[in-house]
Amino acid sequence: MQNKGAIKIFAILFAFVCLYHLSFTYKTYRIEKDAREYANNEEVGRLAKQMANGDILKENFYVDSISKAREKYYLDSLQNEVIYNLGIRKYTYKECKEREINLGLDLKGGMNVTLEVSMIDILKTMSGHSKDSTFNKAISLAEQKHKNSKSDFVTLFAESFKEIDPNAKMAAIFSYELKDKIKVNSTNEEVITAIRKETKDAFDRTFQILRQRIDKFGVAQPNIQALKQSERILIELPGVKDPDRVRKLLQGTAQLEFWETFDFKELAQTFVDADKMLASAQNLKKIEGKDSLTVNDTTSTAQTIKKDTLLAKNTKDTTGKSLLDKLKKDTSKANNKNEKSREEWAKEHPLFSVLQLNLDEKNVPREGPVIGLANSKDFSKVEKLLEMAKKSFPHNLKLLWTAKPVQDGTNVYQLVAIKVSSRDGTPALGGDVITDARQDFSQNGGNEISMSMNAEGAKTWKNLTGANIGKSVAIILDNLVYSFPTVNSEISGGRSSITGRFSLEEAKDLANILKAGKLPAPAKIVEEAIVGPSLGKEAINAGIWSFIVAFALTFIFMILYYNKAGMVADIALITNMFFVFGILSSLGAVLTLPGIAGIVLTLGMDVDKNVIIYERIREEIRAGKGIRLAIDDGYKHAMSSIIDSNITTLLTAIVLFIFGSGPVQGFATTLIIGILSSLFCAIFITKLIFVWMMDRNKEITVWNSYTKNILTKINFDFVGLRKKFYILSLSLVVIGIISLSIRGLSRGIDFMGGRSYVVRFDKDVKTDDIRLSLAKMYNSEPEVKTFGSNNQIKITTSYMIDDQSSKTDSIVETKLYEGLKSFYTRSLTREEFLVHADNKLIGKLSSQKIEPTIAYDLLTKAYYAVFFSLLIIFGYIAFRFRKWQWGLGGVISLFHDSFIVITIFSLFHGILPFSMDVGQDFIAAILTIIGYSIMDTVIIFDRIREYQALYPKRDLHTNMNAAINSTLGRTLITSGITFMVLLAMFIFGGEVIRGFTFALLIGIAIGTYSSVFNATPIAYDLIMLRMRKQEKKKLGLK
């Protein structure tokens, strides 16, 4: 084997890289396991029992609440602590968490939201809310076009404006608000260019504002992506249990404000008084209990844990233990005298134990509006204590946290004292006065932000700065303080600059935030999917079981059929799985349930390569070659089939990744990684093992007495019987056409828009009863289907889908509850029905919302995906086999396979006991079938090409039959193994992907049939037709 040493080195290095990336998942798993143990010790039960006073329901509630709070406290405390030391690099828990394998929302629960930035509102703002009839008609027309168009809104607006009045001038409408960008005599094209730039900037600002909001929302590992081509923003929030709060957070308008501030020296004594009042309060423990943690519990825990250095000035930690060692012990059993004294100090100073005052070395209050510092994990406690002591503070005091920590790598933030100067509680100046803001450089080379205001804002800003010379003015966005610069002099003219220790990026960010007041870009939710944590756990279990069963079946089959060579294939299979998970981890890819399906499918496709090689080795041995030569020739002769078949499958997977979204992209990602990794393992890893065995004279067998001669003596005239199979295939196509015209397809929410809900009851229910009950609520009958067991249903409705009100989702969910509550045997409140709690067994388990515009986009992408897949495959096969007839034969066969699967879904939707909706996952199945089916076809084509070269005197009919018969064994075995793993996934993979796997099962079966009975015969007829035409042409010339 050539380059054996290089392949070994590469395999070893690659294995170490995968092990390195997977080690982060292992480390976070261990830490989170410790957190669960810490959160569920005996002390939790004691505290819950004490607080519940004998009420069992309350006790269970308190146990759950306290354990969750303790687990969160544990993990928050480790965010910036080193938990993994490799010697050359140390990693904190936060860094390890960022590098672990991420689970998709369908596996761990959460909320997936796609927001569309309202370009209509941006244009109206830029026009100064113009009443111009041409402008408003153009907006309305563009809005209608946008529902069924791939173009961006600005382009559609420009087209609509020209259609309504070709002679109208846009400059007259936009010149005032865009006076710095355009002139009164600017052409419409110049105005559109300026508008496009401003809308892009507005989109970017909206994106940044949403990112800031999400970062402060407290969600672990959120994901936010800008989909600029479609003017949309994708947001994934794992573990969210209050969707209404998320909707308000994401769709609320950004509020930029300028406030006056207090100097801390003015307030220092009030905070001392507040701390004393809190210490003497008799009901403190009771109030803290409502947060599931008593003062004794939280303070003792806080004192045992080593605090951030910025918070540790009040006490001294002399225990000498590491943070991790301390956390692993129950803090309630601490007996160290120093710890007890610190606990007593915390009881005497409850506020100062979590809020470090802004004092200098001599305990003198520092100048400026900063009250003190606190760790983000203590925010809720600080706020609760301040609320209890609010009578100690001035009535016009408002306390807000800074947007960024005081130091990178910490969770410590400043608390700033805001002065409410107006009677109605409004800020001194609103952000709507800002006309422009940009990053600039000061005279000493530092970064600053230059900004300009309109006339009204300039006047107010002059008065505000003049009245606050020597004091700070706070710049606030969404109730977070971004900056509080000190005013050096009165600022007139509406032009000003903000200086500070800004990095270039921070200065640009703050400039963007300031501009947000000028061009608000409201965002509306156009697509939404919510998966409850309990449904996520069920999906994980289903995915794991399907993987284990499929892996075991494949593992056993290879040993039984190929003997010792099968063991070698199994080693390659295990190696491939290790590589796949390692690559997923290194890429930061998200593992979804369809992604697991992709990995399971990879099992079958991985073994396919070994089957192709082993069947070729068996042929070489039967030809009388020794084992070493048979293995070398087997790999050599199988190589072209393996490469061609996997390239075609890889191309369809890439198309699926490009045109798919969400979980479908997750499936495509794992499929692409699996194909590439399995190629390496099947070709190189197995060959290395065989070489190692042969060098040590170990016996290698590729069969046993039962499998030695299976499918070796077949001599079937496939080409001769082709017309009979044409009739069979055409009959199935005709049945499909009739079924589609009569029954059609059950379109999923992906392709028609609407809302869908998965709801579970505490008894079996009838879908007709549910449908009639909800029809009274929604004024039209929703679609109701059994989803798995008879006590679980899926409801789809288009009720109020076009209503853009922020309250619409809540209204629809309330009507859902009202229509279904009578079907439960026990009384269920609205909150219990809708909440997404852990271990939830009944009520709404998941939901999805897709607006019609999104549905149209998804449907368009589906058409493109199928078209480009077929086009690419046709081109590749025609190129590789030098004749377009081979490509056309393959594509016609693929079209046949896809249409038969569509026919099955048309015939049996609503009959079979699982969802057969046609959505994104169905298109993913069709593309996978296309990729897999062409793989079998290419293997046959490759053997025909080989026989044409070996036996040039034989006619095409004979060579084709010989090729099909010689490859029939591997065709049936490869398809059989893939069918077997898919069947395991269909049975054990859960209800969510059952329709998807069913489509794959049908597709694999039909694809195997068409590869043998359709693709090759069609290519034969096309080639023969061309040969006859050429012969006639020659005769005509004579």
Three-class DSSP labels, 798-854: CCCCCCCCCCHHHHHHHHHHHHHHHHCCCCCCHHHHHCCCCCCCCEEEEEEEECHHH
Question: 451 lies in a domain?
Answer: no
Q: Answer yes or no: do 786 and 723 share one domain.
A: no
Q: Work out how many domains the chain is built from and give that number.
A: 4
Q: Residue 115 in 3-state DSSP?
A: strand
Fill in the DSSP letter of residue 470.
T
Q: Answer yes or no: do 791 and 817 share one domain.
A: yes
Among residues 231, 229, 233, 230, the alpha carbon closest in space to that of 208 is found at: 233
State how far the Cα of 1033 lies from the Cα of 1030, in Å rounded to an integer.
5
Residue 498 has pLDDT above 70, yes or no: no
CB 826 within 8 A of CB 803: no
Q: Answer yes or no: do 805 and 919 share one domain.
A: no
Percent of the chain with pLDDT over 90: 30
Write the CATH number for 796: 3.30.70
207 confidence band (pLDDT: 50, 70, 90):
confident
Indicate the Cα dihedral angle 525, 527, 533, 538, nearest 10°. 170
Q: Answer yes or no: do 726 and 597 share one domain.
A: yes
pLDDT, position 514: 65
Q: Residue 432 in 3-state DSSP?
A: helix
Fill in the DSSP letter of residue 104.
P
784 confidence band (pLDDT: 50, 70, 90):
confident
Among residues 467, 439, 468, the alpha carbon closest in space to that of 451 is found at: 439
Residue range(s) defining the domain that contains residue 787: 754-850
Strand-by-strand arrangement of the 754-760 sheet = 223-227, 232-238, 110-117, 523-531, 843-850, 754-760, 792-797, 783-786
Angle formed at CA 782 by CA 780 and CA 784, multiple of 5 degrees: 150
Tokens standing for 318? 């002399």
pLDDT, position 299: 31
pLDDT, position 684: 92
Residue 66 has pLDDT above 60, yes or no: yes
pLDDT, position 202: 81
Fill in the DSSP letter of residue 318.
-
State how far the Cα of 381 lies from the Cα of 372, in Å rounded to an integer.
15
State how far the Cα of 882 lies from the Cα of 761, in Å rounded to an integer.
60
Three-state SS for 705-760 is CCCCCCCCCCCCCCCCCHHHHHHHHHHHHHHHHHHHHHCCCCECHHHHCEEEEEEE
Q: What is the mean pLDDT of residues 222-230?
A: 73
Residue 660 has pLDDT above 80, yes or no: no
Lowest-pLDDT range, 129-143, 365-379, 436-450, 1020-1034? 436-450
Tokens standing for 100? 């672990």
Question: 177 lies in a domain?
Answer: yes
Tokens standing for 353? 């134990």
Domain final residue, candidates 226, 251, 276: 251
pLDDT, position 534: 61
Name residue, tokens 């015939």: 907
Question: 735 lies in a domain?
Answer: yes
1021 confidence band (pLDDT: 50, 70, 90):
very high
State how far the Cα of 647 lies from the Cα of 873, in Å rounded to an integer.
9
Contacts of 316 (CB under 8 A, 6+ apart): none
Q: Residue 55 in 3-state DSSP?
A: coil
pLDDT, position 289: 40
Among residues 807, 757, 703, the alpha carbon closest in space to that of 535 is found at: 757
State how far the Cα of 891 lies from the Cα of 668, in Å rounded to an integer.
21
Cβ count near 12 (within 10 Å):
10
State how far the Cα of 592 lies from the Cα of 610, in Å rounded to an integer.
27
E strands, 81-135, where?
82-85, 90-92, 102-103, 110-117
Tokens standing for 609? 């390569």
- Give the model confidence (pLDDT) of 954-1010 as tens digits: 999 999 999 999 999 888 998 999 999 899 989 988 777 888 899 999 999 999 999
Domain final residue, candidates 796, 819, 850: 850
State how far the Cα of 738 lies from the Cα of 736, in Å rounded to an integer.
5
> Residue 288: in which H helix or E strand, if any?
helix 284-289
Q: What is the mean pLDDT of residues 592-602?
A: 80
> Residue 534: in which H helix or E strand, if any?
helix 533-562
The per-residue pLDDT of the chain, averaged, comes to 82
Question: 333 lies in a domain?
Answer: no
Question: 216 phi and psi, to 5 degrees?
Answer: -90, 0
State how far the Cα of 921 lies from the Cα of 914, in Å rounded to an integer.
14
Residue 632 has pLDDT above 90, yes or no: yes
381 confidence band (pLDDT: 50, 70, 90):
confident
Tokens standing for 640? 């072209």
Q: Answer yes or no: do 47 and 189 share one domain.
A: no
pLDDT, position 629: 94
State how far the Cα of 415 lies from the Cα of 355, in Å rounded to an integer.
9
Residue 788 has pLDDT above 80, yes or no: no
Residue 681 has pLDDT above 90, yes or no: yes
Higher pLDDT, 342 or 734: 734
Name residue, tokens 């960024």: 404
- Which amino acid, 380? S
Tokens standing for 850? 């897709």
Strand-by-strand arrangement of the 495-502 sheet = 434-441, 447-453, 495-502
- Which amino acid, 204? D
303 confidence band (pLDDT: 50, 70, 90):
very low
252 confidence band (pLDDT: 50, 70, 90):
low
Q: Answer yes or no: do 767 and 899 share one domain.
A: no
Lowest-pLDDT range, 48-62, 133-147, 185-199? 48-62
Lowest-pLDDT range, 152-161, 416-425, 597-606, 937-946? 597-606
Name residue, tokens 């063991």: 567
Fill in the DSSP letter of residue 187.
-
CB 787 within 8 A of CB 794: yes
Q: Answer yes or no: do 865 and 778 share one domain.
A: no
- Give Cα separations from 215 to 110, 253, 905, 1031 (angstroms): 16, 17, 43, 74
Q: Answer yes or no: do 171 and 244 share one domain.
A: yes
Q: What is the mean pLDDT of residues 332-350?
A: 61
Q: Answer yes or no: do 51 and 120 share one domain.
A: no
pLDDT, position 148: 73
Residue 318 has pLDDT above 50, yes or no: no
Angle formed at CA 70 by CA 544 and CA 26, multiple of 5 degrees: 35
Q: How far is CA 160 from the centre of its chain?
A: 36
> Residue 452: in which H helix or E strand, if any?
strand 447-453
286 confidence band (pLDDT: 50, 70, 90):
very low
Question: 369 lies in a domain?
Answer: no
pLDDT, position 228: 62
Report the DSSP beta bridge partners of residue 397: 419
Question: 612 lies in a domain?
Answer: yes
Question: 931 phi and psi, to 5 degrees?
Answer: -65, -40
Q: How far is CA 959 from the centre of its chain?
A: 50
pLDDT, position 521: 63
CB under 8 A, 24+ apart: contacts of 500-507: 500/448, 501/446, 502/446, 502/447, 502/448, 502/449, 503/447, 504/439, 504/447, 506/447, 507/439, 507/440, 507/447, 507/448, 507/449
pLDDT, position 667: 82
pLDDT, position 809: 81
Q: What is the mean pLDDT of residues 356-371?
A: 90
pLDDT, position 14: 93
Contacts of 286 (CB under 8 A, 6+ apart): none
pLDDT, position 662: 67
860 confidence band (pLDDT: 50, 70, 90):
confident
Fill in the DSSP letter of residue 168.
-
Q: What is the mean pLDDT of residues 527-545?
A: 72
pLDDT, position 626: 92
pLDDT, position 241: 66
CB-side exposure of 610: number of CA atoms within 13 Å? 35
pLDDT, position 91: 92
Q: Answer yes or no: do 655 and 608 share one domain.
A: yes
Q: Answer yes or no: do 683 and 595 share one domain.
A: yes
Residue 863 has pLDDT above 80, yes or no: yes
Question: 78 lies in a domain?
Answer: yes
pLDDT, position 961: 93
Task: Annotate 398-412 with DSSP letters as a single string.
Answer: EEEEBSS-SSTT--E
Name residue, tokens 């506020």: 351
Tokens standing for 645? 């078949």
220 confidence band (pLDDT: 50, 70, 90):
low
Residue 432 has pLDDT above 60, yes or no: yes
Q: Answer yes or no: do 966 and 1024 share one domain.
A: yes
Cβ count near 842 (within 10 Å):
19
Domain final residue, candidates 818, 850, 882: 850
Lowest-pLDDT range, 32-36, 157-161, 338-342, 1019-1023? 338-342
State how far the Cα of 974 lies from the Cα of 937, in Å rounded to an integer.
12
Among residues 244, 234, 249, the alpha carbon closest in space to that of 112 is found at: 234
Tokens standing for 501? 């220790």
Question: 524 lies in a domain?
Answer: no
Lowest-pLDDT range, 260-264, 655-659, 885-889? 655-659
Residue 564 has pLDDT above 80, yes or no: yes
Among residues 681, 621, 675, 562, the alpha carbon closest in space to that of 973 is found at: 562
Residue 445 has pLDDT above 80, yes or no: no
CB 655 within 8 A of CB 643: no
pLDDT, position 882: 85
